[in-house]
Amino acid sequence: GAVVSQHPSRVICKSGTSVKIECRSLDFQATTMFWYRQFPKQSLMLMATSNEGSKATYEQGVEKDKFLINHASLTLSTLTVTSAHPEDSSFYICSASPSTNSYNSPLHFGNGTRLTVT
């Protein structure tokens, strides 16, 4: 149980275009989802916390108008990278927290999306 599906796994796009990444909880409801970014040889950095039915909370230094997050249902959160540029090329990964999750339960991760902007 507790499977998180993330699509696409890999995407290449041209500079200036927008890319949408989906994160789905397949067998549980997720009130909260987290989006992370990982640059080569760097740690995973939390970008934003996505809450179903409300606005996402962004970490300091993350542009909310560039990284649009929508969490319209309890099983789906989307991250849209708008007007992507080469410096946005990175590994994006989501994690989901079950609605019944206590803070002491593990978070479940998707397999990530490798974004390359040319």
Partner 1 sequence: KQEVTQIPAALSVPEGENLVLNCSFTDSAIYNLQWFRQDPGKGLTSLLLIQSSQREQTSGRLNASLDKSSGRSTLYIAASQPGDSATYLCAVRGYSGGGADGLTFGKGTHLIIQP
Q: What is the DSSP string of 50-98?
A: EETTS--EEPTT--TTTEEEEEEETTEEEEEE-S--GGG-EEEEEEEEE
Task: Using CB under 8 A, list all residues that contact partner 1.
Answer: 6, 34, 36, 41-46, 49, 57, 91, 93, 95, 97, 103-112, 114
Closest CB to partner 1 among residues 57, 89: 57
Q: Show the tokens assigned to 97.
A: 């927290």
Considering the complex, what minimum distance in angstroms separates the CB of residue 2 from partner 1?
Answer: 10
Closest CB to partner 1 among residues 16, 39: 39
Closest CB to partner 1 among residues 16, 106: 106
Considering the complex, what minimum distance in angstroms separates the CB of residue 45 from partner 1?
Answer: 8
16 touches 8 (CB < 8 A): no
DSSP 8-state code for residue 107: P
